Amino acid sequence: MQDVTSSPPVDLLRRLRARGAGDPVTHVERVAARVGVPAAWPDWAQPELRAAFARRGVVAPWQHQAEAATLAYGGGHVIVATGTASGKSLAYQLPALATLLADPRATVLYLAPTKALAADQLRAVAGLELEGVRPACYDGDTPRAEREWIRRHSRFVLTNPDMLHHGILPGHAQWSGFLRRLAYVVIDECHTYRGVFGSHVAHVLRRLRRQCARFGANPVFVLASATSGDPATAAGRLTGLPVTAVTEDTSPRGGVTFALWEPPLLPPDSGTAAPVPPQPTGDHDDLRQVRRSALRETADLLADTVAEGVRTLAFVRSRKGAEVVAANARRALDDAVPGLGDRVAAYRGGYLREERRELERALLHGDLLGLASTNALELGVDLVGLDAVLICGYPGTRASLWQQAGRAGRSGQEALAVLVARDDPLDTYLVHHPEAIFGAPVEATVLDPANPYVLAPQLACAAAEAPLTPADLVLFGDGAKEAVDQLVEAGALRQRPTGWYWRHRERPEVDLRGEGGAPVCVVESSTGRLLGTVDGSSSHFLLHPGAVYLHQGVSYVVDELDLADGCALVHVEEPDWSTHARDVTDLSVVSVRSYVDAGPVGMFLGEVDVTSQVVSYQRRRIATGEVIDTRPLDLPTRELRTVAVWFTLSDRSLASAGVQTADVPGALHAAEHAAIGLLPLMATCDRWDIGGLSTALHPDTEAPTVFVYDGHPGGAGFAERAYGTASAWLRATRDAIAECGCETGCPSCVQSPKCGNGNNPLSKPDAIRVLDVVLGNLPA
């Protein structure tokens, strides 16, 4: 047993926490090392296959790999849901490749959520050098000239759900030879298919199953997932098939020293509050009392670990944040030793393929020691030998937290993981309630294939591929008949004796990644160079005219956002201000699905219409956070029909709880912010998936009301989950506010980084009174 008082990560943590005044560490958890349980190669795995794996250093499978592989080889649909680096890929490679060797006609389709991960898998499979497999990636980057060869000759095609949806299924006639012989469908990192995106992917997989069945194929599905709650149910919902789960991780793991880190509160009116790094649509103005920003703190920790030669990965939630962490760490290192800053870089999903590859290579070879990344890396891009992982802000779910922390110590070494709390109610709650992290099971992956906003367009796609039959409606599940009837009524489908036919020449345009629309390309006007992409739903916030946009530490200013063409033109400029977009929101109740009448308090679940518009942006000095000015914007409104949870209180109950009439708006607004901040504790969402609105008198409820809604058309299950756990959710909200050390409210409790009203008005003490009234009346 190793002496935990003096292991390298413990010593590193001791040095890190001793730097400033006061101790930022609120909790240290020691996650024990685990010994691996090897198994024998299954009898059916051919000697040449075993030899190929042995050449790659795999002498024998771990028990969970062998178990999942054998279930799949026997024809059962399987999900293997185990930790990072537990070797999930062997669990699907083994049965898939053994089948390709045994049956020279069989084919395999592999799906990854990102092109980068598919490219990584391609390298792994190609590296086995098995005769006749001819693995190939088929995605948006695949040259036209190679596509036909792949369709005809590859027996292991690696792609992503978007390409399956936009390319392979519509072109099923060209793929018929491949689909007819399809033996396995591998769905890697399937926990990423959650919410609205997950619901879309669920139907894309049903469309795939339908096409296979037309060609007489009945492939086995093998899914790989990060550790998640109830993976068999989630996989069943995703594929529409009965799936067996293998969840016991039998791979060895090095111990992890896991610290919870809370940046200190800065003194009131402290000039040192600045510079506040730009947050995504951040809103840290007008604040008297703030904590040192998690971005600054993470940048300092990254600089310190890199200076010690510790290979460190910092996970930052936003792409802007990752750029800022890398830039600040580079600056700090260059100040200490000129040139040292070159060993830190930023990485995020929007980078172009060549840039990503170069960064991965540099970190692997040690040219880079520190990398600040969005969760793009979370998706299994293979990085080994990391000594420390810094997690800047709770990633939203325990499942993601463990997956990010799992990057540390892959080679069985002791490693350090640090969760740096953001100035945010959920983060603050978690660093003071470690039992909510270390003592709780990981969340289940939530998706809802019955969402009518997903189901109808997916049925339209299916009908465009081949007419729908009554049997197909069973395949597409609950609500399919209603959706088809609506499509007929809307003139999209025509009913004939043989089924429902798509009526148009053009295919339906459906975006799997939610309402955001196609990604917006960021183009440098002077050179025409494509810098990267931003997803459509963020584009109004991040790429409005005048926005400051960071890419690899270089600052650009947006000249023009062309929404019709999906591109933003930018030029290089480094102004000494950051930009922060503002929006306004309006909400009306469409229908009530369910409610609880609790005397002076009402709790509701129903459909709402939300209208929002990004109307202006602030420019703030980077050095001081001072607001320079607010400039108007002329962007279109966005409409959203979605699901909301809301509660109402009577004026009288508020008055008797001591809330003055003038303070009601601030009380409700503060309660709304904190409630949104704490909802991710109950549902697999983050606060950016959720919106809110509060008002002292809403025309539809005729009472003081707080609304919390899903930020996706048709809802994504989050508001529903909030309604189902209302008293636990609002209890945690109340405690988070009451336990916060600030006096008048701070971002750790009632202020929100995405408030459209500049966090005004807010009343912290009255928010506690509001929640006490609700909790006092609501049945537990």
Task: Establish if 755 lies at the interface with Zn ion (CB under 5 A).
Answer: yes
When asked if residue 670 is in the footprint of Zn ion (CB under 5 A), the reply is: no
Examine residue 675 and tell whether it contacts Zn ion (CB under 5 A). no
The Cβ-side half-sphere exposure at 707, using a 13 Å CA radius, reads 29
Decide whether 64 or 580 has the Cβ nearer to Zn ion. 580
Residue 761: asked if its preceding bond is cis (omega within 30°), the reply is yes
Report, in Å, the least distance between residue 544 CB and Zn ion. Answer: 20
Q: Residue 745 Cβ, how far from Zn ion at the closest point, in Å? A: 6
Separation CA 702–CA 611 (nearest Å): 20
Position of tokens 């009913």?
495
Interaction of residue 749 with Zn ion, rule CB under 5 A: yes
Contacts for 281 with CB less than 8 Å, ≥ 6 apart: 541, 542, 580, 581, 753, 754
Q: Which stretch binds Zn ion (CB under 5 A): 151-159, 660-668, 727-735, 754-762?
A: 754-762
Piece of the chain touching Zn ion by CB under 5 A; list 214-222, 258-266, 579-587, 745-753: 745-753
Q: Considering the rule CB under 5 A, would residue 740 count as an interface residue with Zn ion?
A: yes
Asked if residues 502 and 509 have their Cβ atoms less than 8 Å apart, the reply is no
Q: Which of residues 242-301 bind Zn ion (CB under 5 A)?
A: none
CB nearer to Zn ion: pick between 273 and 567: 273
Query: Which residues ranging from 707 to 736 are in contact with Zn ion (CB under 5 A)?
Result: none
Closer to Zn ion by CB, 210 or 291: give it.
291
Pick the closest to residue 318 from 374, 262, 256, 237 (CA basis).
374
Question: Least separation, in Å, of the C-beta of 423 and Zn ion?
Answer: 9
DSSP 748: T
Report if residue 678 touches Zn ion, rule: CB under 5 A. Answer: no
Q: According to CB under 5 A, which one of 303, 388, 746, 774 is a site residue for Zn ion? A: 746
Cβ 738 to Zn ion shortest distance, Å: 10
Confirm if 483 and 468 have CB atoms less than 8 A apart: no
Q: Which stretch binds Zn ion (CB under 5 A): 346-354, 405-413, 566-574, 747-755?
A: 747-755
Tokens of 712: 């996706």
Residue 748 in contact with Zn ion, rule: CB under 5 A:
yes
Q: How many C-beta neighbours within 10 Å does residue 528 have?
A: 8
How far does CA 765 lie from the centroid of its chain? Answer: 33
Residue 421 in the binding site for Zn ion (CB under 5 A):
no
192 binds Zn ion (CB under 5 A): no
Nearer to Zn ion, 344 or 755 (CB): 755
Q: Smallest gap, in angstroms, from Cβ of residue 748 to Zn ion? A: 4
CB nearer Zn ion, residue 219 or residue 753 = 753
Secondary structure element (H or E) that encloses residue 209, with its range: helix 195-214
Residue 693 interacts with Zn ion (CB under 5 A): yes or no: no
Say which DSSP state 165 is in.
I
Which helix (H) or strand (E) covers residue 448, if one does? none
Q: Where would I find the H helices in 74-194?
A: 88-102, 115-126, 144-153, 161-163, 176-180
> Is 154 a binder of Zn ion (CB under 5 A)?
no
Residue closer to Zn ion (CB basis): 10 or 749: 749
Cβ contacts of residue 419 below 8 Å, gap of 6+?
258, 259, 260, 261, 391, 394, 401, 430, 431, 437
Which is closer to Zn ion, CB of 133 or CB of 706? 706
# residues contacting Zn ion (CB under 5 A): 7
Least distance in Å: CB of 621 to Zn ion?
23
> What is the arrangement of strands in the sheet containing 107-111, beginning at the earlier edge strand?
135-137, 156-159, 107-111, 182-187, 220-225, 78-81, 244-246
458 binds Zn ion, rule: CB under 5 A: no
Nearest Cα to 373, choosing from 116, 725, 728, 12?
116
User: Closer to Zn ion at the Cβ: 325 or 746?
Assistant: 746
When binding is defined by CB under 5 A, the residue of 742, 767, 770, 774 that contacts Zn ion is 742
Phi (first) and psi of residue 277, to 5 degrees: -65, 150
- Give the footprint of Zn ion on this chain (CB under 5 A): 740, 742, 746, 748-749, 755, 757
